[in-house]
Amino acid sequence: MVSTPQVLLDALRHGYILVGMDIGLIIFDEAHHAVDNDPYNRIMQEFYHKLPPMDPSLTGIVSSQRRMRRPMIMSLIASPIFGGNVDKAFRMIETNLDSVIVSPCQTRSALAEFVHRPTFKHIV
């Protein structure tokens, strides 16, 4: 399912979808929004954090009985955090989204060496 955060939050609040049963992975794009009363943060606080953690030893195993467990979380952020304490902001996002922030060790220019750039030709 692909959804806006508010639509997912509404569906969860009305019981149309159960986080621990119907969702195995949540991808949060623009994860820096997951603060205060934002729908990302509400999803996590009202539904995700109330579930028992996923047992890593059972990942990939389909059991005969379905259990309510936290889905996996993938949070994407490309926007830098301006102003204030960056470390504190990162810790808050990590806590709110039950995630760990990681970034590539190489810079964009170093990675660009391995990206194929298409060439465009105008044909008349």
Find the DSSP H helices in the chain: 5-13, 19-22, 39-43, 86-96, 108-112
Report strand pairing: 25-28 vs 72-75: parallel
Tell the residue number behind the tokens 């159960």, with chain if given. 18
- Which residue ranges make up each domain of the chain? 5-112
Q: What is the pLDDT of residues 6-37, one digit of tens each?
A: 999 999 999 999 998 999 999 999 988 889 99
The rounded distance, in Å, linking the Cα atoms of 59 and 47 is 20
Q: Is the pTM of this model over 0.85?
A: no
Q: What is the pLDDT of residues 44-65, one digit of tens each?
A: 999 999 998 876 666 555 554 5
* Token pair belonging to 89: 């902001």
Q: Is the dihedral of CA 96, 65, 1, 76 positive or negative?
A: positive
**CATH domain 5-112 topology:** Rossmann fold (3.40.50)
Q: Would you give the DSSP letter of residue 89?
A: H
Which residues does residue 25 pair with via DSSP β-bridges, in sequence order?
72
